[in-house]
Amino acid sequence: MAKHMKKHIKLKGHIKTYLNFTIYLGGLLCAVSAAVFLIDYRAGGIVTCFTLFYLAITLSLYFYNKPVIMNELISFATDYGQIQKKLLRDLEIPYALLDDGGKVIWTNTAFETVVHQPKGYNKSVTSLFHTITRDRLPDDSGLDEAQYELDYEGNEYVARFKKISLKEMADHSDMIQAEGYSGYLIAMYLFDETALHIALQEVDDQSLAVGMIYLDNYDEALESVEEVRRSLLIALIDRKVNKYISALDGISKKLEKDKYLIILRKKAIAQLQENRFDLLEEVKTVNIGNEMAVTISIGIGLDGLTYAQNYEFARNAIDLALGRGGDQAVIKTPESVTYYGGKSQQVEKNTRVKTRVKAHALREIITTKDTVLVMGHRIPDADSFGATVGIYRIAQTLGRRVHIVLNDAPASIQPLVDLFRGNPDYEEDMIIGSQQAIEIAGGNVVLVVVDVNKPSITECPDLLRFCKSVVVLDHHRAGNETIENATLSYVEPYASSACELVSEILQYTYDNIKIRPEEADCMYSGIMIDTNNFISKAGVRTFEAAAFLRRNGADVTRVRKLFREDANEYKARADAVSQAEIYRQNFAISVCTSDDLPSPTIVGAQAANELLNIKGIKASFVLTDYQGKIYISARSIDEVNVQLIMERMGGGGHMSIAACQMEGTGIIEAIGILKSTIDNMLETGEI
């Protein structure tokens, strides 16, 4: 071992220079002796004798003392290493050395205390920390350092790893050099950040959350109770809200007769989420003889950079809650939007003041532009096309050029489209494709989007970028993805259909507006299809809209003839109904074949409606494999909110009518995902 060490260990640096200096000086004396000889040989002889004597003494001392000095250096290095080792052993930061395979080869006392292992533990680091695998450690591929967060026995650590090259370590030594060294070690440090994380979490829990509470049906609830008891009803609601917020150590301030501003700590929001916002249900228990239960909407803003941004988030959240029909809570953060509740049916508003205001605003927008583009959703149905026809009539009456954007008309609405194509009473360019619409789009064009508020499923999403002025008219409950920066947005989830909304707007946009029979038929058919022949979601205003269209030439018999079914479609719907699986006693799940069907998704939706006629069925789901995607049509009557289920799967819609699309998934897998979603939401009480 000693021979091996002496062979590989050599002096270098200042020590080597110091020891060799006397030899260098001897060489210099030899040169001086030669020079003196040239001047005087007697003096040169004296100097030469002195030089030889000097060299003899110097070389003797050099070869005698070098082993002694080497031994002393090795002894010093050993003692110095022992001191370093002692310091590392007692270092308060847990520290370990690993070999290049991740095996522990040395640990200090602090590390042994953390992992509860004795000195000499030499197993893989993965056996201590399961998340630290070999591929996450520094290696020869260029990864010299790494850092990971660890959760070990309730404490939170940051583990840092650093690669140590043995050759570089030897090369940087001031006293020795090593030849033939290769390989590397890995230094591992553990930094306990538990206290820091607790402190940060405490600061985060104490951060401000802003919320808004609106009473959804304030006026309607007051009208359903005796006048002398109305003040008592209001007082009970105030007390319920204030007491609930006070219990969370929050502040509630009534801004208007039906609006509250609330200030809470973020920690209190976690409690609300854990209780699934039971205030929504508690308010409904306030009853002093009112026929209609009071419902509320809650919007909360969190994690904004400023208090003002949290307030803006709260405003956006309450708008989303109201846009989805109320009776629910929405939490908005910079990264996400979360929904709670939404189990009640929307309340139909008796007043049409809002409709009149929106109609006048729409008229003002259209009259300031030269051209109007109207589009619905992709794979349009009767409601979408009927609503575009209604907007067409409004723009025509106001003397503006108008085009309906429609790429491919599904077979289900082809009879309606044929009423206008080739009709001499209508322009040839009444219906245009997406490319033509993009060429027309510009600053002097208004785009009206009907029957959809999700930009990705509109007939031409690019149009939303090319048109600065955008109007949205829809009856679907808003989701996370909405058309932003709309000049005018009129989204009313209580409405049965987009055609109902447009029919009401028609009556206020222009006095004594004249609607042609073809247009009335289209809009009437849209209401009829979306309400399943006035069975689902048909309110007073639905029938009033239908009556208005009937007075303007809509023919029920003619509409019925337009929608008579093909024999193959009828059989496919019957097969879907007959093969339905009853899941968990209350959910009907079936598959609709797309073979030889021009519009299989429409047939699937019809089959879902049919399945609701079975006793005990609370919700129905029909899956259709069409054009490489799985389309799911979901329907319910009143007990289950199918919109929440479809949103969980990436879709949306109404409480009783919803749908979603899935790509890259087979029918069997999609059914499994649907069942798993239903199971999870039943367990958590979301449906």
| Domain contains 308 | yes
| Domain contains 513 | yes
Count Cβ atoms below 10 Å from residue 185 Cβ, excluding itself. Answer: 18
> Is the pLDDT at 24 greater than 90, yes or no?
no
The pLDDT value given to residue 201: 80
pLDDT tens for 584-604 read: 989 999 999 887 787 788 889
pLDDT higher at 497 or 83: 497
The pLDDT value given to residue 143: 74
pLDDT higher at 546 or 74: 546
The pLDDT value given to residue 668: 92
- Reference 299, options 310, 290, 288; nearest CA is 310
> Is the pLDDT at 12 greater than 50, yes or no?
yes
> Is the pLDDT at 7 greater than 50, yes or no?
no
CA 559, CA 548: separation in Å to the nearest integer?
16
pLDDT tens for 363-379 read: 999 998 999 999 999 88
CA 468, CA 458: separation in Å to the nearest integer?
16
The pLDDT value given to residue 657: 84
Strand partners, 353: none
Mean pLDDT confidence for 132-143: 77
Count Cβ atoms below 10 Å from residue 622 Cβ, excluding itself. Answer: 30
Provide the pLDDT confidence category of residue 346 given band limits of 50, 70 and 90. Answer: low
Which H or E run contains 401? Answer: strand 401-405
> Is the pLDDT at 71 greater than 70, yes or no?
no
| Domain contains 348 | no
Mean pLDDT confidence for 30-40: 78
> Is the pLDDT at 142 greater than 80, yes or no?
no
Mean pLDDT confidence for 130-153: 80
- Reference 450, options 385, 366, 514; nearest CA is 385
| Domain contains 346 | no
The pLDDT value given to residue 617: 92
The pLDDT value given to residue 14: 67
Q: Contact 338/414 with Cβ under 8 angstroms?
A: no
Cα–Cα distances (Å) from 363 to 9, 23, 396, 526, in that order, read 94, 106, 12, 23
Mean pLDDT confidence for 275-299: 86
| Domain contains 422 | yes
> Is the pLDDT at 292 greater than 90, yes or no?
no
> Is the pLDDT at 72 greater than 70, yes or no?
no
Mean pLDDT confidence for 392-400: 92
pLDDT higher at 292 or 265: 265
The pLDDT value given to residue 219: 82
CA 171, CA 134: separation in Å to the nearest integer?
28
| Domain contains 595 | yes
pLDDT higher at 75 or 293: 293
- Range of lowest pLDDT (82-96, 173-187, 238-252, 361-375): 173-187
Range of the domain at 77: 2-89
437: left (phi over 0), alpha (psi -120 to 50) or beta: alpha
Out of 507, 528, 562, a domain closes at: 562
The pLDDT value given to residue 11: 60
Out of 200, 226, 246, a domain closes at: 200
Cα–Cα distances (Å) from 189 to 52, 167, 600, in that order, read 59, 22, 62
Percent of the chain with pLDDT over 90: 24
Q: Are residues 363 and 335 in the same domain?
A: no
Q: Are residues 304 and 258 in the same domain?
A: yes
Mean pLDDT confidence for 286-298: 84
The pLDDT value given to residue 387: 94
Q: What is the DSSP letter of 449?
A: E
- Range of lowest pLDDT (116-125, 421-430, 627-636, 675-684): 116-125
The pLDDT value given to residue 335: 84
Residue with token string 């020590």: 15
Provide the pLDDT confidence category of residue 641 given band limits of 50, 70 and 90. Answer: confident
Q: Are residues 28 and 137 in the same domain?
A: no
Mean pLDDT confidence for 485-502: 86
Q: Are residues 414 and 501 in the same domain?
A: yes
| Residue 119, both tokens | 């000195």
Please provide the average confidence, as pLDDT, over all residues in the chain.
83
| Domain contains 527 | yes
Helix H, strand E, coil C: the string for 233-289 is HHHHHHHHHHHHHHHCCCEEEEEECCEEEEEEEHHHHHHHHHCCCCHHHHHHCCCCC
553: left (phi over 0), alpha (psi -120 to 50) or beta: left
The pLDDT value given to residue 176: 47
- Range of lowest pLDDT (216-230, 380-394, 398-412): 216-230
> Is the pLDDT at 1 greater than 60, yes or no?
no
Provide the pLDDT confidence category of residue 500 given band limits of 50, 70 and 90. Answer: very high
pLDDT tens for 218-269 read: 888 888 788 888 889 889 999 999 999 999 999 999 998 889 999 999 999 9
> Is the pLDDT at 315 greater than 70, yes or no?
yes
> Is the pLDDT at 139 greater than 80, yes or no?
no
Count Cβ atoms below 10 Å from residue 221 Cβ, excluding itself. Answer: 23
The two beta strands, 328-332 and 145-152, are unpaired
Cα–Cα distances (Å) from 193 to 93, 148, 361, in that order, read 12, 12, 57
Q: Are residues 663 and 648 in the same domain?
A: yes
Q: Are residues 179 and 248 in the same domain?
A: no
Mean pLDDT confidence for 7-30: 68
Percent of the chain with pLDDT over 70: 90
pLDDT tens for 436-460 read: 999 988 888 999 999 988 888 899 9
The pLDDT value given to residue 599: 78
Count Cβ atoms below 10 Å from residue 478 Cβ, excluding itself. Answer: 24
Provide the pLDDT confidence category of residue 503 given band limits of 50, 70 and 90. Answer: very high
pLDDT tens for 556-565 read: 888 888 777 7
CA 647, CA 686: separation in Å to the nearest integer?
12
CA 619, CA 545: separation in Å to the nearest integer?
28
Q: Are residues 396 and 483 in the same domain?
A: yes
| Domain contains 347 | no
Provide the pLDDT confidence category of residue 539 given band limits of 50, 70 and 90. Answer: confident
Count Cβ atoms below 10 Å from residue 507 Cβ, excluding itself. Answer: 17
Q: Are residues 577 and 615 in the same domain?
A: yes
Out of 165, 200, 235, a domain closes at: 200
Q: Are residues 596 and 459 in the same domain?
A: no
Q: Are residues 38 and 80 in the same domain?
A: yes
The two beta strands, 445-450 and 469-474, are parallel
CA 511, CA 467: separation in Å to the nearest integer?
29
CA 434, CA 450: separation in Å to the nearest integer?
16
15: left (phi over 0), alpha (psi -120 to 50) or beta: alpha
Mean pLDDT confidence for 90-108: 82
Across the beta sheet with 629-636, the strand order is 581-583, 587-592, 619-626, 629-636, 657-663, 652-653
Q: Are residues 576 and 552 in the same domain?
A: no
Number of domains, the chain: 5
pLDDT higher at 620 or 203: 620
Q: Are residues 23 and 134 in the same domain?
A: no
> Is the pLDDT at 156 greater than 70, yes or no?
yes
**CATH code of the domain in which 163 resides:** 3.30.450.20
